[in-house]
Amino acid sequence: MPITVGTDSVKARRTLSVGDQTVSYYSIQAATDAGLGDFSKLPASLKVVLENLLRYEDDGFSVSTDDIKAFGEWATAGGKNPREIAYRPARVLMQDFTGVPAVVDLAAMRDGIKALGGDAQKINPLNPVDLVIDHSVMIDEFGNPRAFQMNVDREYERNLERYQFLKWGQTAFENFRVVPPGTGICHQVNLEYLAQTVWTDVDQNGETVAYPDTLVGTDSHTTMVNGAAVLGWGVGGIEAEAAMLGQPISMLIPEVVGFKLTGEMVEGTTGTDLVLKVVEMLREHGVVSKFVEFYGEGLDNLPLAQRATIANMAPEYGATCGFFPIDAETLRYMEQTGRDKDRIALVEAYAKENGFWRDADYAPVYTSTLELDMGTIVPAISGPKRPQDYIALTEAGTEFGKFVQGIREGKDASGKEEVRWEGEGGAPEPHDIPGDEGHHKKGWYKTDDGAYQLHDGSIVIASITSCTNTSNPYVMIGAGLVARKARELGLNRKPWVKTSLAPGSQVVSEYLEAAGLQEDLDAIGFNLVGYGCTTCIGNSGPLDAPISKAINDYDLIATSVLSGNRNFEGRISPDVRANYLASPPLVVAYALVGDMNVNIATDVIGTDKDGNDVYLKDIWPSNAEIAELVEKTVTRESFQSKYADVFKGDEKWQGVEVSGGETYDWPASSTYIQNPPYFQGMSPEKGSITNIEGARVLAILGDMVTTDHISPAGSFKDTTPAGKYLLDHQVPVREFNSYGSRRGNHEVMMRGTFANIRIKNEMLDGVEGGYTKGPDGAQTTIYEASMAYQDQGTPLVIFGGEQYGAGSSRDWAAKGTALLGVKAVIAENFERIHRSNLVGMGVIPFEFTGGDTRKTLELKGDETVSIEGLDDVKPLAEVPCHITYGDGSTKTITLKCRIDTAPEKEYVENGGVLHYVLRNLAKQA
């Protein structure tokens, strides 16, 4: 489908000849020549947004000359001009956890538009959409050559209904492609294959137009592709669906923080160590809702794969994106990964012609700046609960000991004593815990191959996983070399450690095999378990039963180490309390040690086959060793080979049968795919925003409540509301799968909202999990309380602390909130994506003002809340909120309404952004 550009944008249109090709483009210099402003000092990331507006100026969607001029004013005002603009990304990226509910919504919208008298074909993506199935594989089998095939077989058994539905979507919708299971992780596939840095398309006049490659994705780590100078960030499925259907994204011109990199990495450090320090620095600096752009001479020493690691973790440092401008390294990476030669030439010519090229003189204006000498980076990990909790490797064991001491001296100080051995022949000798001062719990467990001691700090999961690091051949080759050196010395993983290797693309396996390193990884338990997110999104699979039993029976603080980007509470495994992010080589090393109490940088990590002590330095490869193997095995041909038939899939995918035509034939008995209630009985006309009167409190939550807390992705028990629902529908526990895999069924997901096992509702004392007080004041599940309040017609509110909604872009954190009858979320502040998602579902976010917080207000949960001034509310207006306490006393406070823009107000008036789009499309018919 051709792109449609504005009627007046032709003023900035120029042509560019590169080799045999001639393309049109929208010139930033032409806008300057036309007197619209001096844009020469804009950061490259902001020039991408400016070009987008130039291309659509006066297209009927409110892109005006004043919008263009605002960018020149941004530069002269020191990097600030929060004007509202309408932005249109070139394409949309999805993964299956978020993609299935998005396609469910599109299918429901087809039903909805027909009910309103419209044409079902109006519900079609106008922009290209790629959905990569990467979130569904679980690590059921590990540590043996059968693991990959057995996990794939199990994946298809669990998810056949979902895959049939996605295949229907591929046939029913235009501009919609599906990358089958077992191919890779969406962000790595995007970086290595889909992204083009400069995109081309045909406009409504039949002319080829070149413009920056841009996208939004239904996963927060869409930002990874910014490492290749492709501007992209995560949005909820709701916002992505609107973008697919031609709705521009309403946003404010962002501030841009410049992060100057100097120097180069020193011996023994990795790109992971660098990004963990960057995350810590930027979280401290404060970059929520801002762009971060990396610049400085240090970029000349930073391979693109390492840039992508930094860009990937933008959600962890809180930014909208972490952008790297186009330079010579961008072109080298495109060449290495098999991009078309003509495309590479176009990228270079376009970037230099239109002001996007980074050279030695690149010095734009930034809103603020900070600087890091990469020569100061040291090996590090982050944990045990947040990515920004940076720990130098030399302090890792000590810091873990402090963490345990804090827990044992706190609410968990009482509890069971050290576990005593009950097996035959007496207990084996205890394993000393370094730094143990009586705070650690210890216990024994027995398996077929012997008896072992577990204790606080035992590492039970070591996983090389996630696009964050498996996209970087330097750390993957490094991990393989650590495995090789360990194997040569006779070291092996500890028997209680569940080890796994889940690369983000098949290319990784190609170069590990070519280097002969996969055999070494296999030898110490890091066999291939699948191509997907696995442990990083909670699909770590069950631990061996004796290990799980020992952890839970004796309240042990088990740990995991993974090469991922997220380590929030309750995310990785229900059996694991402490989670650490580390580079792939360190993941291998920690599997050999099996104990987080060990200061791995300095302590003995094992004994070789001759009885000699082994230290980390004895198995750590040199930078030269790694670089030599990368140069030899990571080739253009391997990328071209593995991506040649990327949409074809294996025999299993080809054998998935589909049925249905223009609209979906919803299977009544399905527990995976159900027609959601959003559009059923919808009127042709929008409503209005009304005041909230007599609302009750569903939950009072603390700081850093993540979307994992609100809508967990992992496994759940049969005693939960979601588990009971599945049992009632004859689904055995073995077939429960995960919350993430069942996002196409609102009945499961609303029961799983606020159901994370580690979430703490401050209305209850010392209780973890999805509980609250019902209308009668008795403790019950949040789902059951919600249903009781909704039966009474009582609206609900949620109170929260700082950084409410941090983490993943998952739209179900907002959808579930809305379906539970919550009309408002009141917090100290919100993370960008979740705030947008709440608005997109018609739930109004409010922020405290004047120093008020849930704590200063001494909220207990028995209050009644009313919010006025909403019937004619303006964006970002302050409104009164009346609180009636349980004892009858009252207090009035002022809240800031976080409906940020006029279009967002329309979304709420319509009941959500999809309702807004649906009504407009129906009216066009």
**36-56 b/e with 16+ CB inside 10 Å = b?**
bbebeebbbbbbbbbbbbbbb
Residue with structure tokens 């919504």?
A: 105
Check whether 204 has a pLDDT greater than 90: no
Query: Of 202-206, 440-444, 553-557, which range is least confident?
Result: 440-444
The number of beta carbons lying within 10 Å of the beta carbon of residue 668 is 7
Contact 171/658 with Cβ under 8 angstroms?
yes
3-state SS class at 924: helix
Q: Give pLDDT, residue 553.
A: 87
Question: What does the pLDDT look like over 745-770, one tens digit per residue?
Answer: 999 999 999 999 889 999 999 899 99
- Residues 665-694, mean pLDDT to the nearest whole number: 91
Q: Which of 905, 448, 396 is nearest to 601 (CA)?
A: 396
Taking CA atoms, 166 is separated from 176, 182, 493, 671, 772, in Å, by 10, 15, 39, 15, 36
* Residue 925 pLDDT class (50, 70, 90 cuts): low
pLDDT higher than 70, residue 430 = no
Using an 8 Å Cβ cutoff, are 535 and 572 in contact?
A: yes
Strand pairing of 256-262 and 368-373? parallel
User: Is the model's pLDDT at 199 over the cut of 60?
Assistant: yes
Using a pLDDT cut of 90, give the percent of the chain over it.
74
Query: Is the model's pLDDT at 600 over the cut of 60?
Result: yes
Residue 228's pLDDT is: 98
- pLDDT of the residue at 468: 86
Model pLDDT for residues 38-59, shown as the tens digit of each residue: 999 999 999 999 999 999 876 5
pLDDT band at 423 (very low <50, low <70, confident <90, very high): very low
Backbone φ and ψ for 564, nearest 5 degrees, come out as -105, -160
Residue 446 predicted with pLDDT over 80: no
| 808: pLDDT strictly greater than 90 | no
- Beta pairing partners, 450: 447
Which residue in 301, 379, 192, 328 sits closest to 627, CA to CA?
A: 301
Q: Report the largest interatomic distance among the alpha carbons of the chain, rounded to a whole angstrom.
A: 89
Question: Is residue 348 very low, low, confident or very high in pLDDT (cuts 50, 70, 90)?
Answer: very high
As given in the structure block, the two tokens for residue 779 are: 């403790």
With bands split at pLDDT 50, 70 and 90, how would you rate the model's confidence at 843? very high
AA identity, residue 123: I
List Cα–Cα distances, 459 to 145, 454, 583, 653, 703, in angstroms: 23, 9, 16, 36, 28
Residue 6: what pLDDT?
61
In the prediction, which pLDDT does 822 show? Answer: 98
Classify burial at 362, counting beta carbons within 10 Å of its beta carbon; exposed 0-12, middle 13-18, buried 19 or more.
middle
Residues 6+ away with beta carbon under 8 Å from 651: none
Burial degree of 688 (CB within 10 A; 0-12, 13-18, 19+): exposed
Hey, which bits of 286-396 come out as E strands? 291-295, 321-323, 368-373, 380-382, 390-392
Strands 256-262, 864-867: pairing is unpaired
Query: How far lies 124's CA from each of 1, 120, 121, 427, in Å?
Result: 11, 8, 6, 66
Does the pLDDT value for residue 319 go beyond 60?
Answer: yes
H or E element at residue 15: strand 13-18
DSSP 740: G
Please write the tens of the pLDDT for every residue from 275-303: 999 999 999 999 988 999 999 999 999 99
pLDDT at 506: 94
Domains of the chain: 91-376 (3.30.499.10), 380-638 (3.30.499.10), 692-924 (3.20.19.10)
Determine the average pLDDT of the residues in 573-597: 95
Query: Which positions ≥6 away from 113 have C-beta within 8 Å?
Result: 119, 120, 122, 123, 918, 921, 922, 925
| Integer Cα distance of 36 and 12 in angstroms | 11
The CA distance from 592 to 605, in Å, is: 7
